[in-house]
Amino acid sequence: MNWEVVIGLEIHAQLSTQSKLFSGAPIGFGAEPNTQTALVDLGMPGALPVFNKEALRMAVMFGHAVNAEIGMTSVFARKNYFYPDLPKGYQTSQMDHPIVGKGYLDVTLDDGTTSRVGITRAHLEEDAGKSLHEDFQGMTGIDLNRSSTPLLEIVSEPDIRSAKEAVAYVKMIHSIVTYLGICDGNMAEGSMRCDVNISLRPKGQQEYGTRTEIKNVNSFRFIEKAIYTEIERQADILEDGGRITQETRLYDPEKNETRSMRSKEDANDYRYFPCPDLLPVVLTQEYVDQIKTTLPELPSQKAARFQSEHSLSEYDAAVLSSSREMADYFESANDIVKDAKLTANWVMGELSKLLNQAQLEIAHSPVNAKAFGELLQRIKDNTINGKTAKDVFQLMWEGEGSADDIIEAKGLKQVTDTGAIEAMIQTILDANSAQVEQYRAAEPDKQKKMIGFFVGQVMKASQGKANPGIVNPILAKMLKG
């Protein structure tokens, strides 16, 4: 049978506040256990929550960025369940009245097509602590540092129809929250976590099939792989006439399979009700409008501008604007080079290659945008050619200094003096008279292939410093005789 896959995503983005959602305890990854907690984060008797202003501002910003209705009155509710890393026995979240209501995002795929993904809602909630399962006398250790850390849970409509689209959507959300500066987007540290809801239905059928939820998939690559394996698993069951059980599953990247999480509460009943320790959050239109004016240029807007202002292709513009750091790097470098195509090619080519090899984020590139721009400028002004530039860039990467220092120190400056080049070519033609004869006797299309030999000889003789742009026309002319 021909199956259609239906995907909806729940993304938890940890907001980059200084202090917690409901307490003045600090937030930080990797601190000693239980050293970043306040009374309310531990659920101590009589401790009370007070809501963080900055978390509210960040949530409203996000709402604007996804074209959403802002909840002018939002209400915190308690989600009640017992778990050792949930100290109060309930999670403070939002249910009927979230801070961000319906919105949407237009997602561009690699093939250039665009699809609209609806956003159902985004709500504020507190994170739980962590259970550490290393062996402590056969017991589990509880670290509550993460307890009450602010999360924005972004829930999509089941509008996504492929793994690729799901990844594109998550990347888009990732770039929006990092552009806004409301989340550091670090998936490895759990600052952004993703739950994927998947179901299959026969193509053409209206109603949805039974879905499963894959919890906590923590990289773009795993999201794609998890979806593929889950689609396969569900399709196998359905093809055999079986039924899908609605359940929560876990993706195991090592085995590349999903498996059922049986221990997670049989038939949960969360008994949501408005949290009586917190009051409705009521916004004024003025506040909401004011935040809108503070929104930075968003990825889609930036991509459009890159196309119109710098005449970049849609693909290049989308890649360069996918992260705020990359876009900023590109723009800073190009301010020096003033050749967007050249800069774009180098950012997406050589720079990205070295970053990937070193597994570095662009923000941590050993060559900053200014130094990078200065290097490209030397290509543009013909001081060095592209090939030499790659070598120079490698040396800059290794910390050997600026482009100009390296060019100077290694004597890599291109020979652009036409007289010197003519002399060099004459020497080569004299030394290779047989080849010159052959060339002159050949058909013009054969000549095109044969000229490479002479170019190679010139480059060899000049130790790569001859500017090919100058060599080629002179060589062609002199070969003609």
Partner 1 sequence: MSIDKQDVQKIAHLARLALTEEDADQYQHSLSSVLTLVEQMQSVNTEGVEPLSNPLEMTQRLREDKVTEGNRRDEFLANAPQTEAGLFLVPQVIE
Partner 2 sequence: MFQQNISSLAQQLRNKELSSVELTRAFLDRIAQIDGQLNSFITVSEHTALEQAAAADKILSEGKGSSLTGIPIAHKDLFCTQDILTTSGSKMLHNFVPPYESTVTQRLAEAGTVMLGKTNMDEFAMGSSNENSFFGAVKNPWNLDKVPGGSSGGSAAAVAAGLVVAATGTDTGGSIRQPASFCGITGLKPTYGRVSRFGMIAYASSLDQAGPMAKSAEDCAHIMQSIAGFDEKDSTSSENKTDNYLNSLNTPLTGLKIGLPKEYFGEGLDADVAKVIMDAVAEFEKLGATVKEISLPNLQLSIPSYYVIAPSEASSNLSRFDGVRFGHRCDDAKDLLDMYTRTRAEGFGAEVQKRIMVGTYALSEGYYDAYYLKAQRIRRLIKQDFVAALDEVDVIMGPVAPTTAFGLGSKTNDPVAMYLEDIYTLSANLAGIPAMSVPAGFADNMPVGLHIMGNYFAEAKLLNVAHQFQQHTDWHLQSPAMIKGAQE
Which neighbouring-strand residues pair with 106? 116
**CB contact set of 238 (below 8 Å; sequence gap of 6+):** 1, 3, 200, 209, 244
**CB contact set of 93 (below 8 Å; sequence gap of 6+):** 76, 77, 78, 79, 123, 124, 125, 126, 153
Q: Tell me how far apart the alpha carbons of residues 140 and 151 are, in angstroms, rounded to a whole number.
A: 25
DSSP string, 187-244: TTTTSEEEEEEEEEEETT--S----EEEEEE-SHHHHHHHHHHHHHHHHHHHHTT--P
43 binds, among partner 1, partner 2, none (CB under 5 to 8 A by kind): partner 2
By CB under 8 A, residue 279 contacts partner 1: yes
Rounded to the nearest whole angstrom, what is the least distance from the CB of residue 273 to partner 2 in the complex?
Answer: 6
Among 1, 2, 32, 433, which residue interacts with partner 1 (rule: CB under 8 A)? 32
Write the Ramachandran bin of 186: left for phi over 0, alpha for psi from -120 to 50, otherwise beta.
beta
By CB under 8 A, residue 269 contacts partner 2: yes
Residue 301: HSE in the Cβ half-sphere, 13 Å Cα cutoff: 9
Among 207, 269, 286, 430, which residue interacts with partner 1 (rule: CB under 8 A)? 269
By CB under 8 A, residue 95 contacts partner 2: no
Rounded to the nearest whole angstrom, what is the least distance from the CB of residue 72 to partner 2 in the complex?
Answer: 19
Among 7, 11, 13, 38, which residue interacts with partner 1 (rule: CB under 8 A)? 38
By CB under 8 A, residue 124 contacts partner 2: no
Q: Tell me how far apart the alpha carbons of residues 375 and 365 are, in angstroms, rounded to a whole number.
A: 15
In the bound state with partner 1, the residue whose beta carbon lies nearer, of 1 and 267, is: 267
Q: Tell me how far apart the alpha carbons of residues 260 and 210 are, in angstroms, rounded to a whole number.
A: 15
In the bound state with partner 1, the residue whose beta carbon lies nearer, of 94 and 385, is: 94
By CB under 8 A, residue 133 contacts partner 1: yes
Among 6, 42, 72, 237, which residue interacts with partner 1 (rule: CB under 8 A)? 42
282 binds, among partner 1, partner 2, none (CB under 5 to 8 A by kind): partner 1
Binding interface with partner 2 (CB under 8 A): 39, 42-51, 78, 80, 82, 84, 87-90, 142, 269, 271-273, 276-279
Binding interface with partner 1 (CB under 8 A): 17-19, 23-26, 32-39, 42, 44, 50-56, 76, 82, 84, 131-133, 136-144, 250, 261, 263, 269, 271, 274, 276, 278-282
